[in-house]
Each structure stands twice: as structure tokens, then as C-alpha cells.
Amino acid sequence: MRPLALCAALLLLFSSCQPDETGAGNAPEAVLRQWQGLLDQNRFDEARLLSAGNALEFVDYLHSFPHVDSMPAETTELLQLHCAVQGDSAVCSFFIEDEVGEKIPDTLVLKKIKGKWLVFTVESFEVTPLDSLREGDENILFPPSDSTDEEYE
């Protein structure tokens, strides 16, 4: 009778265990690293599968550059990556290193949608559509060619 009780207890123990998000590779940190790796390798269609919200627009923006598919892959290291999870949202902050070795802070927001973490908001990405400028504001982005350097000193 004792082996039967032991088997029942073990069965109950193992059936009550749920996989840890970090072990499943679906933790926000793991998803963010995978997403960044796909972007580094110019695998934009796959990166879109891990994107929602303005992160989809960001992936499309990167993919819109001419000859981007033929560019060599690079590796972006996410330094000091930390994600603060609250419910179905995670705010992930980290640093990336630029060409001269300076650490640049960045923040991404992930949302859990249908049980999967997706990159949702790229905080540093904002495109101002040119057609949203008011008449006369085009000089803000594109100063008239007849202006002289003295005007800007």
C-alpha cells in the first residue's frame, strides 16, 4: 500500500507544478533579447511576430531602409537589462553601447497578449509625419536654402 501512496503523492506533486516563465523562454527579458537579435540579423518578418503597438511600426521603419536586407548582421548587447513586471505589462530598461563606447539608456514596454510577451512600445521611437506640419512649419525641419549662416549664430 505504501508504494501506491508514494506514487499518488508524486503524481500530485508533479501535476501541480507549472512551468516557470523564465524556463519557457517567454520571460520579458528573454523575449526582448530574442526580438533585438532578430532585428540585428535583419529578420524583420520574425521580429514582427514578437511585436505589437508602435513596436510594429518601428520594425516596419527599420525594414523600409534601402538595402537593409543586404546589410551585414550585427550584435547589439543589452547591458544592465532589467524588466519591472506589473500584471500584463513589463517596463524594460537597459543600456546599449554606441560606436565610441558611450552607454545610451533605452526603455521598451512589453505587454502580455494571449499569454505571450510581445514588445509593445519603443520609447525612443517617434516619427513625425511631414503631412502633420502646419503651413510654415516646414522651415523648422528644412530651413530655406536662401538663409545664411549668420541667421543661426
AA letter at 133: L
Query: What pLDDT shows up at residue 98?
Result: 84
Q: Give the class (CATH, top level) of 22-126.
A: alpha beta
User: Does 48 or 145 have the greater pLDDT score?
Assistant: 48
Q: Which pLDDT tens digit goes with each residue over 23-66?
A: 447 899 999 999 999 999 999 999 999 999 999 999 999 898 88
Decide if 26 contacts 117 (C-beta within 8 A).
Answer: yes
- Select the more confidently predicted residue: 51 or 14: 51
Residue 93 scores a pLDDT above 70: yes
Sorted by sequence, the CB contacts under 8 Å of residue 130 that are 6+ apart come out as: 138, 141
What confidence tens digit (pLDDT) does each residue in 112-133 have? Answer: 999 999 999 887 666 555 555 5
User: Residue 21: which pLDDT band, with cuts at 50, 70 and 90?
Assistant: very low
- Answer whether residue 10 shows pLDDT above 50: no
Q: What are the DSSP calls for 10-38, one per residue?
A: HHHHHHH----HHHHT-SHHHHHHHHHHH
The values of phi and psi at residue 107, to 5°, are -140, 135
Sequence ranges of the domains in the chain: 22-126
pLDDT of residue 116: 95
Contact between residue 41 and residue 7 where contact means Cβ atoms under 8 Å apart: no
Highest mean pLDDT among 3-17, 78-92, 115-129: 78-92
Q: What does pTM read for this prediction? A: 0.65
Angle subtended by helix axes 54-63 and 28-40, to nearest 10: 20
The HSE-up count of residue 145 (CA atoms within 13 Å, CB side) is 0
Report which of residues 48 and 21 the model is more confident about: 48
pLDDT at 50 (0 to 100): 97
> In the β-sheet with 103-113, what is the strand arrangement from edge to edge?
79-86, 89-97, 103-113, 116-122
pLDDT at 108 over 60: yes
